[in-house]
Structures are given as C-alpha cells and as structure tokens.
Amino acid sequence: MGVYAMRLPDVGEGIAEAELTEWHVKPGDIVREDDILAAVMTDKAAVEVPSAVSGKVLELGGEIGQMMAIGSVLIRIEVEGEGNEAPGSAPETAKASAPAPQPAPDKDADKGAGSNAEETPEPAPAPAPAAAKKPGHRLPRPEGAKPLAAPSVRARARSEGVDLRHVPGTGPGGRISHEDLDSWIESGGIRQGGVTRGRNTGVEEQRVIGMRRKIAEKMALSKRHIPHITIVEEVEMGALEDLRAALNKKHEGSRPKLTLLPFLMRAIVEAVREQPGLNARYDDDEGVIYRHGGVHIGVATQTPQGLNVPVLHHAESNSLWGNAGELARLADAARDGSIKREELTGGTITITSLGPLGAIATTPIINHPEVAIVGVNKMQIRPVWDGQQFRPRKMMNISCSFDHRVIDGWDAAVFVQKLKSLLENPAMLFVEG
C-alpha cells in the first residue's frame, strides 16, 4: 500500500489560490477515480475537484473556508501499490493532535527536590461539585385554573413581574414554591406585554465562505470605490403589458414566454446606442474607461448558493424571443450550478429585479467595474392624474444607479428618460434607426 498526495489543481488561468468551500468526503471513506472530493471557489467560479485515484481517504488537507494555494496538498489517499509520497512523509494527524503523554510523578523524587518541589506544588484536588437539586415532578395546570402559591410567593412574583399562571409548580397539587419561582426566573422568564415568555439566548455561528464571501467582497468593493448616484423614475406600463400579453398568446407553445426583461434589454440596447458611455467598464487602477460596442447585459439571479450575475452576451444581436430564451437558459444554469465561467463574466451593464417581491423603489449597487445598473421595482395599479381626473394606471418605478466619477447627472437623467420613453411607447422598440 502507498500514499497518494493529491494537490489542488490549476483551476483557471492566472489563479494563484482558491477557497475550500465544501468537502464531499471524510477520513476513512473509500473513493473511486473521478469521484468528487471537494469544491473550491475562485474569483471567477465554483469548481468541483474530482479524485485522480481510487483508495481510502487518510487525511484532508484543509478546513472549510480556508484559502489554499494552487499546488498545495488537498488530500491524502491510501492506494494499492506505490503512491507518489515517500513513506513517513505524511504527517500523522492523530499523533499530532493528541497531547504528549506525561510521565507519572515520582513521589520520592518530590520529597527530595527541596525548593523545586515548593515551586511546583502538587495541585489540590478539585472540590466535588455540589449535588444538583433534583426538580420535583411538575404537574400540568388545567387551562384557566388558578395557580396555587403561598402569599409570600405571590408577593415576590408581583415584584418580579412574573405571571404565576405560566410558572409550573412542583409542590402538592402543583403548588408553586420559592424554588419553582427561582427556577423560572433563572431560565429567562420575563414579562412582555403582560405575557411571560422565556428568553432565547441561543447564538448560531455561521462562517462567511464561498459564494456568500464573494458577494460580500464584491459589494464592499463597489461601495468603497464607486460614488453612486441613483435616479428613480415612474413608468406607465399598460401599453407594454398589453403588447406582452398579446405576443405571448399569439406564440404560445412555439416561442419562449416573454417577461418584462427582454423588453427592458431591448430598451437598454437602444438607449446606450445614443449614450455609449454607459455601456462601459471602468478600470480604476489604470484610469481607463472601456466603452464596448457589444451590449453584454448581466442579470442578477438568486440561486441556492447566493446571488449570481449571469451575462447575456451581445443582446444587441438577438431578437426579443432570442433574448428571452437565452435569459431563461442562463437563469436555469445559474440555479442548478451548471453555468460556465465565461457566462458569468464580461458584463457591461446589469439589470436587477426582485420581481413581485420588489419594493416601490430601491437603490441598486453597481456591479463593479461596470458604470451603470438598472433596477426593476414592483408593478402595481396606482391613481394617476391625466389632467382632468385620477385614473387607475399600471405603474412601475425603475431605479438606476451610476458611477458618478465617470457619469454626470445630466447623462444619467437622459438615459433614464430614454428608457421611460421606450417602455411607455413599446412600438418604438421595433423601429429601426
């Protein structure tokens, strides 16, 4: 038998380290070649690491949340025949973790040790813990029954703000004693709005790792580097919703179902055609703005692992239904974890939407290093003044944030008004030029 030390493979060009986010095995497990051993996350994507050999897991090379250098030992596996590690070179985890045995004290030596014995006296035996008081049998009190307690117990309960109806008694017939009251108070019984409840003092520790850590780092980077300016505008959506419903009915079963997002994508394509500075990425370090000809729209998507932003590349070259189909495919791939690395990078502008859960207005955070993001808020019927009277209209607010270092307020307002105009007059989305 030999030991095979499997090292963390190169999971992407230019990647020097990866975060260990999940173990699929533990010491003692039998694995086969190509079985998934672990999952790691880089700045670009989550990657599953398969086993290069078959054998028995001896040792895991890291803990969840640990950053591991590419090429460091990920796992050690016992294999048939010779491994790739010399015998004895693998650390013996069990021995390393166990404390070194201490020699038994020599009483005779202690007696003759003189001052040394006085410097290190033999520790006195710890006092035996006091015997815990056994609680009596707590009888359930019938609903609405008056609690039984001595006047002194009732007086003390009033001073402590305790409702005795909630205190179980251990005395005869469920009688409440001072000890029962002590136990109730020590357990956290407090008065809340006239009802005594127990305090929940539990604290759950949850490490920020994997996707959640990447999201935290990305959001902190964006807020730290980008001075945001956010513009909120209301849009009357009646005409677009009627058009969307008519197109879905006409092409039901033959084409992808149209949501609001493909129309918004088309509006963004038209708007940035007039203002290419908003379809850009800003390199802070070099002080260079890269304006892109292709419109690569990221769409914030909630997944079981956290927020992902799959990118629909070249939205300008797709039809309304083409974008709808590609958007659905990317969202499904992001949720089931099959999305490719290149489908999560290269965005030039982002859309974020909470759908029906959305609020009236939001202040979206820009997806660094982009310079603009378009937020979709909740659609609802509101009374709108038409010059003569209030009429019910289907309204929706759009919240757009911009990098104020490179986008002036005027340009931001022009962009938002262009989106509003196109969404309120959806026929203009299909007029070339």
Nearest to 399 by CA among 360, 347, 349, 357: 360
For the chain, what is the mean pLDDT?
Answer: 83
Other beta carbons within 10 angstroms of residue 81's beta carbon come to 8
pLDDT of 13 above 60: yes
Please tell me which residue, 265 or 304, carries the higher pLDDT value.
Answer: 265
Among 106, 283, 332, 408, the active-site one is 408
Confidence of residue 94 (pLDDT cuts 50, 70, 90): very low
Q: Which of 60-69, 195-204, 348-357 has the lowest mean pLDDT?
A: 195-204
pLDDT of 129 above 70: no
Spatial distance between the Cα atoms of 277 and 372, rounded to a whole number of angstroms: 10
Task: Give the full edge-to-edge strand order of the sheet including 349-353.
Answer: 228-236, 390-403, 372-385, 349-353, 297-299, 311-312
Spatial distance between the Cα atoms of 382 and 26, rounded to a whole number of angstroms: 58
Distances (CA, A) of 240 to 38, 219, 315, 328, 390: 47, 33, 19, 20, 21
Residue-level pLDDT at 191:
45
Contacts 24+ apart (CB under 8 A), 306-310: 306/210, 306/211, 306/212, 306/214, 306/215, 307/211, 307/215, 308/211, 308/334, 308/339, 308/344, 309/344, 309/347, 309/350, 309/367, 310/334, 310/339, 310/343, 310/344
Question: Mean of the pLDDT values across residues 310-326?
Answer: 95
Confidence of residue 93 (pLDDT cuts 50, 70, 90): very low
Q: What sign does the dihedral 287-292-297-298 (CA atoms) show?
A: negative
Chain centre distance of CA 51? 28
Residue-level pLDDT at 44:
61
Nearest to 377 by CA among 401, 394, 352: 352
Between β-strands 297-299 and 349-353, what pairing exists: parallel, antiparallel or unpaired? Answer: parallel
Residue-level pLDDT at 160:
81
Other beta carbons within 10 angstroms of residue 392's beta carbon come to 10
Spatial distance between the Cα atoms of 45 and 344, rounded to a whole number of angstroms: 8
pLDDT of 267 above 90: yes
Question: Mean of the pLDDT values across residues 136-163?
Answer: 73
Phi, psi (rounded to 5 degrees) for 178: -60, -35
Among 29, 43, 404, 411, the active-site one is 404
pLDDT of 128 above 50: no
Question: Is 404 an active-site residue?
Answer: yes
- Cite the DSSP H helix spans in 226-365: 238-250, 260-274, 320-336
CA atoms within 13 A on the CB side of 252: 4
Q: Which residues contact 369 (CB under 8 A, 6 or more apart)?
A: 281, 282, 283, 284
Task: Say if residue 262 is preceded by a cis peptide, omega within 30 of 0.
Answer: no
Q: Compute the CA torsion angle 305, 306, 307, 310 (nearest 10 deg).
A: 0
Confidence of residue 325 (pLDDT cuts 50, 70, 90): very high
Indicate the helix (H) or strand (E) that contains 152: helix 151-160
DSSP conformation class of 172: G
Residue-level pLDDT at 48:
86
Question: Is 166 an active-site residue?
Answer: no
Residue-level pLDDT at 143:
57
Confidence of residue 388 (pLDDT cuts 50, 70, 90): very high
156 is written with which tokens?
Answer: 């003390």
Distances (CA, A) of 72 to 23, 67, 210: 16, 11, 19
Question: Mean of the pLDDT values across residues 334-356?
Answer: 88
Distances (CA, A) of 255 to 184, 212, 239: 65, 36, 21
What is the pTM assigned to this prediction?
Answer: 0.63
| pLDDT tens, residue by residue, 175-197 | 888 888 888 887 766 444 444 45
Q: Which of 136-140, 185-189, 333-337, 393-397 has the lowest mean pLDDT?
A: 136-140
- Do residues 398 and 410 touch, judged by C-beta distance below 8 A? no
Spatial distance between the Cα atoms of 341 and 50, rounded to a whole number of angstroms: 18
Question: Mean of the pLDDT values across residues 266-294?
Answer: 95
Nearest to 55 by CA among 23, 88, 28, 93: 28
299 is written with which tokens?
Answer: 């769409």
Q: Compute the CA torsion angle 290, 291, 296, 300 (nearest 10 deg).
A: 70
